[in-house]
Structure 1
Amino acid sequence: MNPHPFFSDRRVVVLLASFCCLLWGSAYPAIKNGYAMFGIAANDIPSKMVFAGYRFVFAGLLLLVLAMFMRRNIFVLNLRNLLSTSLLGLTQTSLQYVFFYVGLAYTTGVKSSIMNATGTFFSVLLAHYIYRNDRLNFNKAAGCLIGFAGVMAVNFSPDLLDFNFTLLGEGFVVIAAFILSAATIYGKKLSQTMDSVVLTGYQLSIGGLALVVGGHATGGTLSGFTPASTALLAYMVVLSSAAFALWTVLLKYNRVGLVAVFNFLIPVFGAVLSAIFLGESILEWKNVVALVLVCGGIWLVTRER
């Protein structure tokens, strides 16, 4: 891994990684509003797959068009690259979302958010065994634990006192988090030999297409297109393309443990933005505590030399 004079600067990493998490956090209220606008029922997983699939297909195509305007060669896929990129898209985008949506249908949103945050631990642990320069240390372990405490704080409710654990519910959400972590590290390896924007464009398109086909094959549909719902879908396309592309670049030039810890910001941003756009209460002590804990955990990890 060769450092980059711009993308390896700690201040740039903090700024761009936080921005990516802000974008992904905004997807929480956007998806909820999207389900309402497109008339997707809470238990209609096939239609949710179609909805997510269109989002990622167009996000990938947008990145490939952007790469062309940046005069980057997008026709670089030989058979080996095509298989590798397809595997990344089918795992990081398709398989991960299938497990997450099924798990979400069998557990609460609070517990799903917390279980999904285990992906940061998976990323840090996998990186410890894969990369010699990304070993687990006290700062990293303490930062992850403090950040996870922040995720629990922002989701604090009586649901947290329910310790029931089922394979189809919480189990599938944890599996989704593990798949995403492993696929992210695999994507980091591919980004060393391929342009990050082109790689992200192809993997999103391939993974999104698999979701669309799978969703339609199991009875899913997407209807109810209006100017408002189309604008919302367009926003989700832009946020996905920007966040995934920037995240891939950050992982290319930085250690996984350094970047992965910022994932704890996603549920915090999601809770705050959901409160703003869904009319929920935002002035709650748990939001402040969560933000302080998550930022403290990130500070511990990013301050290591």
Structure 2
Amino acid sequence: MQQSNRSRFSDPKFVALIATLCCLLWGSAYPTIKLGYLAFDIMPEDIASKYVFAGYRFVLAGLLLLVLFRATGKKVLSLSKSQLTSLLVLGLLQTGLQYIFFYVGVGNTTGVKGSIMNATTTFFSVILAHYLYKNDKLGKNKIFGCLLGFIGVIVVNFHTDLLEFSFSFKGEGFVIVAALIFSITAIYAKKLTATIDVLLVTGYSLLIGGLALTLLGLGLGGRVTHFTPESTGNLIYLALLSSAAFCLWNLLLKYNKVGQVSVYNFLIPVFGTLLSALFLGEQIMEFKNLVALLFVSLGIYMVNRTRKEVIVSQSSEALRSSR
């Protein structure tokens, strides 16, 4: 079963399909969260209630994965003390601390700048992988591909706000810190999945981080009320997309190089913009959206081209040595 998963999740076409699906799901969170704020009557400046809302979302997502894991006949609590400690750290950092910085940062900057700053996740992931893994080094194609993807993010978010060269540590700075935390913890999660089932790693991470966000939000006076069929459906969808996207993403990281997977993150703001336009009634057929998608697609191609060149190089070397 393990070998079957490795074969499937290492296939380039399958990786591209699943990574794109994850980014599509995360991109759909943009308009869904906005609609959720409206449905639950959460004001833009009410950060505490946003923490509670996010906490409910991740607690539910974590529970869904743990129930699914239990349904396979395995024990949810069959972990050592050190493994539980590792999952506690992952949950508090990846789901808890990351979103604390993210929500505060987004609340103190424009949506345009926040989206672009959050795209630095890919750069952090690729750079960290370069120093942590011998087989995931930076090359010309990978650097060029990341730059193309970043240009795509800038294009899709292009607005007059972008021309205002201002920087606030509690705004753009916090979003960058959130991106760095996500990059570090994604690599940490990859390490944990070597010995712990991906469902357990993801489920506990979401549950623990969600509980932390909920308690923090409630402690700061946040509240989430107005539960209706519409608002409840919104929350359930967010939980489902989180459980599916994070679990699949961790599976991809488990069986592939960090750099090969992380570059797909550039698709998230593109999908977010397109889906926000579709569901929030904004203009969708803008030329810049098509240009952005082109840049991001080229960036992904360039980064993954590195993988093909390595395989060809290894094959050639093997052929020469056999002569």
Q: TM-score range by the shorter chain?
A: over 0.9
| Aligned-partner residue type, residue 247 of structure 1 | W
2:225 is the counterpart of 1:223: yes
**What do residues 22-43 of structure 1 show as CA deviations (whole Å, max 9, x unaligned)?**
0000000000000011011101
Q: How big is each residue's C-alpha offset from its partner over 1:9-63, in whole Å with a ceiling of 9 and x where there is no partner?
A: 0000000000000000000000000001101110100100000000000000000
Counterpart code for 1:37: A
Equivalent position to 1:14, from 7, 13, 16: 16
1:78, distance to aligned residue in structure 2 (A): 1.8
Counterpart code for 2:65 = L
SS at match of 1:303: helix
Q: Which residue pairs with 2:288 in the alignment? A: 286
Q: How many residue pairs are counted as aligned between the two chains?
A: 304
Residue in structure 2 matching 1:55, options 50, 54, 57? 57
Q: Once the 2 structures are TM-superposed, how far is the Cα of residue 74 of structure 1 from its aligned partner?
A: 1.9
Which residue, 245, 248, 267 being the options, matches 1:246? 248
Runs of 4+ in 1 over 2 A off after TM superposition: 70-73
| CA deviation map 1:134-157 (0-9, x unaligned) | 000011101100000000000000
TM-score between both structures, scaled by the size of structure 1 = 0.98
Amino acid paired to 1:51: F
Report the equivalent of 1:271: 273
Deviation at 1:79, TM superposition (A): 1.2
SS at match of 2:7: coil
The whole-number CA distance in structure 1 between the counterparts of 2:125 and 2:32 is 26
Between 69-78 and 41-50, report the one with greater CA deviation: 69-78
**1: CA distance, partners of 2:74 / 2:15:** 24
* Partners of 2:279 and 2:126 in 1: CA distance: 33
Of all paired residues, the percent bearing the same amino acid is: 59
Letter in 1 for 2:57: R
Match of 1:195 in 2: 197
The TM-score with structure 2 as length reference comes to 0.93
- The answer to whether 1:126 aligns with 2:131 is no
Give the secondary-structure state (helix, strand or coil) at the position aligned to 1:111.
helix
Unaligned runs of 5+ in 1: none
Superposition deviation, residue 302 in structure 1: 1.2
Looking at structure 1, the residues matched to 286 and 114 of structure 2 have their Cα atoms a distance apart, in angstroms, of: 21
- Which letter maps to 1:101? Y
Q: Give the CA RMSD over aligned residues.
A: 1.0
TM-aligned CA deviation for residue 130 of structure 1 = 0.3
Report deviation, 1:71. Answer: 2.6
Larger radius of gyration: 2
Residues 171-213 of structure 1: CA deviation (Å, up to 9, x unaligned): 0010010011001111110011100011100110000000000
- CA shift, 1:73, in A, is 3.2
